[in-house]
């Protein structure tokens, strides 16, 4: 487990932190920052999945990242990791914070990603996954987004299925063979536990 944490930290730093640090030298562009974070998170997940396959482990990790860039604070998270800001609610007569009498208010800066939330449930189902009656992803874990956790990322989504079949049709002109391979991939390789049936119709043009 400790080895996985070290690998994850290194990958996260390489994929996101360095990318974000390069933005400090320029006028902060919120869109550029968001793009850098999303791309960094994606690369972190891909790298961690590759490492977990090599090491034959299935651990996952949530994350919360905070960057202080000049006068701007940028926060991003995946899973149920939280960033909390403690803000003073007391000021003196001149509107300046009085630390000696200050009452601190906790402000949560992040939004949790849990399968029980309607927006996350919809996203999971559109991607080909499922949420159990207990509100957990595949009936097993509460968080719906994380780095790693490769056992939950083997399900075919619509785009995955199309890409797989397209690659198969490049190897063979047989639609029936391609669709049999699709079902085999879903059941044997991606461990689908539901009934699997697929129909492939190829339109001539």
The pLDDT, as a whole number, for residue 83 is 95
How many degrees, rounded to 5, is the angle at CA 157 between CA 48 and CA 177?
110
Residue 1 pLDDT more than 50?
no
Report pLDDT digits (tens) over 154-171: 666 677 788 889 989 988
Residue 48, CA atoms < 13 Å, CB-side half-sphere: 31
Do 108 and 202 have their domain in common? no
Do 167 and 145 have their domain in common? no
Rounded CA-CA distance 60/48 in Å is: 9
Do 108 and 169 have their domain in common? no
Q: What percent of the chain is predicted at pLDDT more than 90?
A: 22
Q: What average pLDDT score do residues 138-151 get?
A: 88
Do 101 and 186 have their domain in common? no
Q: Identify the top-confidence range among 8-12, 103-107, 191-195.
A: 103-107
Q: Domain of 139: which CATH number?
A: 3.60.40.10
- pTM across the whole model: 0.64
Range of the domain at 12: 2-151
Do 63 and 133 have their domain in common? yes
Binned at pLDDT 50, 70 and 90, residue 121 comes out as: very high
The pLDDT, as a whole number, for residue 23 is 58
Give one DSSP letter per residue of the chain, joined into a string: -HHHHHHHHHHHIIIIIHHHHGGGGS---HHHHHHHHHHHHHHHHHHHHHHHHHHT---EE-EEEEEEETTEEEEEEETT---EEEEE--B-TTS-B-TTTPPEEEEE-----BTTSHHHHHHHHHTT--B-TTSSBTTTBSBS--EE-GGGS-SPPHHHHHHHHHHHHHH-S-HHHHHHHHHHIIIIIS---S-------PPP-
Residue 48 pLDDT more than 70?
yes
């Amino acid at each position: 487990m400790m080895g996985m944490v070290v690998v994850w930290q290194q990958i996260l730093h390489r994929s996101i932190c360095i990318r974000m640090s390069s933005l400090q030298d320029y006028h902060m562009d919120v869109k550029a920052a968001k793009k850098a974070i999303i791309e960094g998170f994606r690369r972190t997940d891909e790298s961690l999945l590759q490492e977990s396959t090599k090491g034959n482990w299935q651990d996952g990790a949530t994350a919360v990242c905070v960057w202080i860039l000049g006068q701007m604070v940028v926060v991003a998270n995946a899973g149920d990791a939280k960033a909390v800001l403690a803000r003073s609610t007391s000021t003196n007569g001149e509107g300046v914070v009085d630390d000696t009498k200050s009452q601190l208010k906790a402000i949560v800066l992040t939004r949790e990603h849990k399968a029980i939330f309607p927006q996350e449930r919809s996203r999971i189902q559109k991607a080909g996954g499922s949420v159990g009656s207990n509100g957990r992803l595949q009936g097993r874990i509460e968080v719906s987004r994380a780095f790693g956790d490769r056992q939950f990322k083997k399900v075919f989504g619509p785009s995955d299925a199309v890409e797989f079949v397209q690659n198969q049709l490049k190897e063979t002109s047989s639609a029936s063979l391609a669709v049999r391979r699709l079902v085999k991939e879903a059941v044997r390789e991606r461990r689908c536990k539901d009934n699997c049936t697929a129909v492939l119709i190829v339109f001539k043009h």
